[in-house]
Structure 1
Amino acid sequence: MSIDEKPRMVLASPTDLLCALPYLLGFHPTDSLVVAGFAGRPPDGRLRLTARWDLPLAAGATARLVPLLTREEVTRVALVGYGPGPRVTPAVDEVIAALRDAGVAVLEALRTDGARYWSYLCRNVRCCPPEGVPYDVGASPVAAQATLHGMVALPDREALERTLTPVDGPVRQAMRRATARAAAEFRRRLLAAERPDDFAVDFVTAGLERVRNAVRLYQRGDRLSDDEAARLGLDLAVIRVRDEAWTLIDDDTIAAHLALWRDLTTRLEPPFTPPAASLLGVTAWRNGDCTLANIAIDRALAVDPGYTMARLLSEGLCRLIPPDVLRSGPTSKEIDEQMGRPTVAWLLPLCGLLDTVGLAHSAPRCLEPP
């Protein structure tokens, strides 16, 4: 996870590193190996990335690590294993061997149980006694600084997953009614259209504007109403509208995108969540939060295992492709040039989705299969 744009934190000791990692990851890891990669020369080196693996390490994990460090120009790393020695030590040994073969310096290698840490490199019992070195994440100045900048360390990964739990109860019922209203309006207008392709142009144009307005709304700290959210959920089923949202993600709007797509991932009726969850995945990945990106993409694939955008993102994360590749996508104008004028065929995925969830009670002849 690149943190070039995160608040500056000075990591001058093993305790500083241990206190910073939960905030960089977004949660307190367990049964994990975390690699912190530094670029530049000491003492002014910069923490370039953090990467986490579940323990025990999956086959091929270290093979992907070295290319990642090379791409990110990392020259020195620190390793932290979370868990008991028999589980952590083999993983640390494997990674150290791979790093040394690649000429990457290992600054420190630690094991922690959450309250004490042990060093694999230091043999001085005065600073690294056999019983371990106690530390307190909550009492650290690093933790205080992270909190001041709005960074959060949830208790565990499951707690982070729960932040994307779909809404329930009266809120879910309200969104269900709003979705039915949006679907009925779409169906009415499409059935009444004399020129279906012209209707598609109008629908896509309005959807593009709704995406832009939604981003501006969340930049102001406001929130979509149920009806607005439901309409945008229908819009995002059209690939051109979804891709417009993708092009709008930049450094200045990333916080608004995180809030918007997290909100829609939890509020939209489940069949409509893959586009919003995938956009949340893109935004989180670009923001350096690979854990949230993976959780969001998993949420999309749980609803639609074949959703292409989510599958591509999942493959990129699995291969540890750096998020910088997301900064060089096509512009809105280039997408228009590639895709051309909207046609009613662009609406087929939305019509199929509405039919699947029982919200398309009749289909226009132009959309019926031959």
Structure 2
Amino acid sequence: MPPTPASTTTIVASLPALLGFIPEDSLVLITALTNDDGSVTTGPLARIDLTRITGHADDCARHVNRQCGNLPVFCVIGIVVRTVDEDNADGESLPQRTDVDSLIEQLAEHGFTDVDVVHVPAVAEGARWRSYRDADRTGVLPDPAATAAAAAAVAAGHTIAASRDDLAARFTPAPENLRARLQPHITDAVASAAIDESWHLTAHLRLARADAAISAATHGELPTDDSDVADLAATFATLSFRDALLAVPDDATRLAAENLVLHLWRHSCDPVAGQLAIVIAVHAYLRGSGTVARIALENADPQQPMTLLLSTVLDHAVAPSEARHVIENASADARRTLLSEPAIDQA
């Protein structure tokens, strides 16, 4: 049984807050889950470029099944976002109907029988959505910025960009000449960080500098001095220090750490930049911004175990709440190891 028209309207209007950007030319698949108390909550979602839908409905259905095949799925709702001529946007002329029908059939083969797909020309106030399956199911969107989901996203410090491209534009490196000037300094700092791993006193000082930089970033203060940028880039790119710094107290601090490391990433070259992108992805994931996490992973070292692990976690829509304690415990262990005074052999 599909959601009511009112709840469908709310879901469609909430897409920018759920995704972190306003989708265009997209298919968004959202699952609704039944909880033990009988309530229904939003489950895993996926956004797919419309250009990838034609002829690949089976791939889309497999992706949904991989995300939530073991979850108590109440229903699946798909939203096709594509501009059309409103005068001709009746139930029979909705865009990519053949692809949508094929997707519904493929989802049914995986056991998802309660499915509705709707079309909306744009996720904007006043836009009308229409169902592919029932011509009588329709509604008009309110202002997406006025939804409860948008208010919650803003309160959590999440960015809602005009498009995915705008969100990805945050990952624009600094000018090449600036990065080239900093590269030897960062290389030297990485060598120093490797030495500091073995000495608990210098490890303490290095972690203290990074902790202070994260604290400053909560107030919008980012390092500008070359030596500070190089020192911090090396710290966050060194595995043991990186792990020790992943545990932070709340989402506001996670966002600050993410912004700090993104600033360092812009000023770094590979392989350091590829390591820093992993840190950005982890913080973005833990604060609930899967889109930013995926964009960060596009810039990360693909051979690193954390890159592969986080990609798998995102593909299977593992909730941050389920992974947070594992990452925080591992981070606390890494910090203890770095700060432990080595045993002294007795003659």
Answer whether TM exceeds 0.5 for this pair: yes
Equivalent in 104, 107, 124 of residue 98 of structure 1: 107
8 Å CA contact 1:211, 1:232 repeated in 2: yes
Q: CA RMSD in A?
A: 4.0
Cα gap change, 1:152/1:199 in structure 2, threshold over 3 Å: closer, same or farther?
closer
Partner of 1:31: 25
Q: What letter corresponds to residue 76 of structure 1 in structure 2?
A: C
Q: How do 1:205-220 and structure 2 match up within 5 A?
A: 205-220=204-219
Cα gap change, 1:72/1:308 in structure 2, threshold over 3 Å: closer, same or farther?
same
**More displaced 10-residue stretch of structure 1: 254-263 or 197-206:** 197-206
Q: CA deviation at 1:311?
A: 3.1
Deviation per residue, 1:307-355 (Å, 9 max, x gap): 3322332243334444323432343453368899899xxxxxxxxxxxx
Partner of 1:6: none
Deviation per residue, 1:3-27 (Å, 9 max, x gap): xxxxxxxx94433322210222112
8 Å CA contact 1:110, 1:120 repeated in 2: yes
Partner of 2:60: 61
8 Å CA contact 1:75, 1:104 repeated in 2: no
Q: What letter corresponds to residue 268 of structure 2 in structure 1?
A: L
8 Å CA contact 1:197, 1:342 repeated in 2: no
Cα gap change, 1:117/1:334 in structure 2, threshold over 3 Å: closer, same or farther?
same
Q: CA deviation at 1:162?
A: 0.8
Cα gap change, 1:73/1:134 in structure 2, threshold over 3 Å: closer, same or farther?
closer
Cα gap change, 1:24/1:336 in structure 2, threshold over 3 Å: closer, same or farther?
closer
Partner of 2:309: 312
| Secondary structure of the corresponding residue to residue 246 of structure 2 | helix
Cα gap change, 1:160/1:183 in structure 2, threshold over 3 Å: closer, same or farther?
same
Cα gap change, 1:236/1:82 in structure 2, threshold over 3 Å: closer, same or farther?
same
The answer to whether 1:289 aligns with 2:289 is yes
Partner of 1:242: 242
Cα gap change, 1:167/1:33 in structure 2, threshold over 3 Å: closer, same or farther?
same
Cα gap change, 1:44/1:234 in structure 2, threshold over 3 Å: closer, same or farther?
same
Q: Percentage identity across aligned positions?
A: 23
Q: What letter corresponds to residue 130 of structure 2 in structure 1?
A: W
The answer to whether 1:331 aligns with 2:340 is no
Deviation per residue, 1:49-108 (Å, 9 max, x gap): 4322233345533224235335554423322122375546524642465258535633x4
Partner of 2:120: 112
The answer to whether 1:16 aligns with 2:10 is yes
Q: How many residues align?
A: 314
Q: Which runs of 5+ in 2 are unaligned?
A: 85-93, 343-347
| Secondary structure of the corresponding residue to residue 15 of structure 1 | helix
Cα gap change, 1:88/1:269 in structure 2, threshold over 3 Å: closer, same or farther?
farther
Q: CA deviation at 1:29?
A: 1.7
Q: What letter corresponds to residue 22 of structure 2 in structure 1?
A: H
Deviation per residue, 1:239-285 (Å, 9 max, x gap): 10111122347556323233223322323345421222111111222
Partner of 1:4: none
Normalised by the size of structure 2, how large is the TM-score?
0.72
8 Å CA contact 1:22, 1:29 repeated in 2: yes
**More displaced 10-residue stretch of structure 1: 248-257 or 111-120:** 248-257
For 1:326 and 1:30, the matched residues in 2 are separated by: 31
Normalised by the size of structure 1, how large is the TM-score?
0.68
8 Å CA contact 2:33, 2:40 repeated in 1: yes
The answer to whether 1:50 aligns with 2:57 is no
| Secondary structure of the corresponding residue to residue 162 of structure 2 | coil
